[in-house]
């Protein structure tokens, strides 16, 4: 039986399903949404349960199951006897058992966060025209009577620059972030990623320094920002053309900045050398992204020679002939 089936799936007093999931500032509380979230949570935590039992042994799994059952009883009924029993059980755990059980609960809640994020995406996709979407924005501008000339002037002057900062209490390692990402990508078959996550230390043994903060920031650029920015511009241009066909986006107005590794006002441990290395790190991340995109493009260029209509007009340059596809 999965973790949340014990903890929050049923209120025995009324028999009603109880789940309150927050994504951003919006609560998704429909029966369909609650059921879908609970099903996904059961799916992931059920697989994790099996891995914990296999890797940590029946005794640790039994202790874990006892604690969460007692927690569920205490939560639902305010049972002081269950609360005291849980405290007694925890106090008698060995250090190794306590570590494994704490690790299990941490993973349970991280997987729950993932399921809630997926529910948020489904909720937004189910809306006809989501509020604050690009389509909704341009429809509102059109309905408000904003003229194309005024919108063009606005776009020509528009600058948007989200800034990354490092939270001083963020201790999650890049390795953990990567494994959670793998779980999301392989949601229907998560065992390999979940097993790797179970064996990954969640907290660094040493204090988080500027380089670790930079590493986490670069992770989000590599995994989300680069692709998302391109997708955003494609969607922006399409929605703009649908409502204002004469207005064109003539420049990139969305750029990103980061204080991480360069904010000497907020982090006394950042030195000029760290800032230089940080800039190089970001540059390498951007370069690697372009190299990967070029490699994908080259996979589609498999001609042994250019089409005759091109060779009749231009001789291939040295740069082109230098490429040899295997």
The per-residue pLDDT for 21 is: 33
The continuous run of DSSP H or E covering 22 comes out as strand 21-23
Whether 45 shows a pLDDT value over 80: the answer reads yes
- pLDDT band, residue 26 (cuts 50/70/90): very low
Summary mean pLDDT of the chain: 82
C-alpha 182/C-alpha 245 separation (Å) is: 40
Helices 31-56 and 95-126 sit at what angle, rounded to 10 degrees? 150
pLDDT in tens, 101-145: 999 999 999 999 999 999 988 887 777 777 789 999 999 999 999
Q: What are the tokens at 64?
A: 């874990």
Taking the domains of the chain in order of start, what are their residue ranges? 1-126, 130-170+209-301
Query: CA-CA distance, 13 to 169, in Å (whole number)?
Result: 39
- Please answer whether residues 60 and 52 qualify as being in contact, where contact means their C-beta atoms are separated by less than 8 angstroms: yes
Q: Which range (115-119, 121-125, 203-207, 320-324) has the least confidence?
A: 320-324
Helix H or strand E segment including 153: helix 148-157
The span from the CA of 317 to the CA of 326, in Å, is 20
**pLDDT for residue 167:** 66
β-sheet bridge partners, residue 181: none
% pLDDT > 90, the chain: 52
Sign of the alpha-carbon dihedral angle for 128, 130, 133, 135: positive
Higher pLDDT, 23 or 260: 260
Question: Is residue 254 pLDDT above 70, yes or no?
Answer: yes
Structure-block tokens of residue 196:
């790797």
Higher pLDDT, 69 or 33: 69
Does 252 have pLDDT greater than 50? yes
Mean pLDDT of 6-12: 36
Dist CA 270 CA 262 (whole Å): 7
With b for 16 or more beta-carbon neighbours within 10 A and e for fewer, the 72-89 pattern comes to bbbebeeeeebeebbeee
Q: What does DSSP assign to residue 238?
A: H
38 against 208, higher pLDDT: 38
With a CB cutoff of 8 Å and minimum separation 6, the contacts of 278 are 210, 214, 258, 260, 261, 262
Residues contacting 133, CB < 8 A, separation 6+? 124
Structure-token pair, residue 4 = 């949340």
pLDDT at 14: 34
pLDDT band at 315 (very low <50, low <70, confident <90, very high): low
Q: In this predicted model, what pLDDT tens digit does every residue of 135-191 receive, in sequence order?
A: 999 999 999 999 999 999 999 999 999 998 876 555 677 788 889 989 999 999 999
Kindly report whether the global pTM for this prediction surpasses the value 0.85.
no
């Amino acid at each position: 039986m999965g973790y949340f089936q014990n903890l929050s799936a049923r209120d025995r007093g009324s028999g009603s399903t109880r789940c309150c999931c927050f994504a951003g500032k919006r609560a998704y509380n429909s029966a369909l949404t609650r059921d879908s979230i609970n099903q996904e949570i059961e799916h992931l935590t059920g697989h994790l349960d099996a891995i914990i039992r296999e890797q940590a042994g029946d005794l640790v799994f039994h202790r874990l199951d006892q604690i969460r059952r007692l927690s569920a009883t205490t939560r639902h009924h305010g049972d002081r006897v269950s609360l005291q029993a849980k405290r007694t059980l925890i106090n008698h755990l060995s250090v190794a058992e306590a570590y494994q059980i704490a690790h299990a609960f941490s993973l349970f809640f991280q997987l729950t966060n993932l399921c809630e994020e997926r529910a948020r995406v489904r909720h937004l996709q189910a809306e006809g025209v989501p509020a604050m979407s690009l389509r909704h924005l341009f429809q509102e501008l059109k309905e408000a009577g904003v003229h194309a000339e005024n919108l063009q002037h606005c776009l020509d002057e528009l600058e948007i620059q989200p800034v990354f900062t490092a939270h001083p209490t963020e201790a999650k390692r890049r390795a953990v972030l990567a494994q959670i990402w793998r779980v999301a990508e392989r949601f229907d078959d998560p065992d390999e990623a979940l097993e790797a996550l179970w064996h990954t230390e969640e907290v660094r043994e040493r204090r988080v320094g500027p380089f670790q903060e930079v590493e986490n920031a670069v992770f989000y650029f590599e995994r989300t920002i680069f692709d998302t920015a391109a997708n955003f511009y494609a969607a922006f241009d399409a929605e703009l053309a649908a409502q204002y066909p004469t207005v064109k986006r003539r420049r990139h107005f969305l750029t990103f900045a980061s204080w991480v590794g360069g904010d000497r006002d907020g982090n006394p441990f950042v030195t000029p050398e760290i800032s230089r290395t940080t800039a190089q790190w970001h540059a390498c991340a951007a370069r690697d992204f372009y190299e990967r995109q070029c490699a994908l493009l080259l996979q589609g260029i498999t001609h042994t020679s250019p089409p005759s209509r091109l060779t009749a007009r231009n001789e291939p340059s040295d740069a082109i002939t230098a490429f040899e596809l295997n």
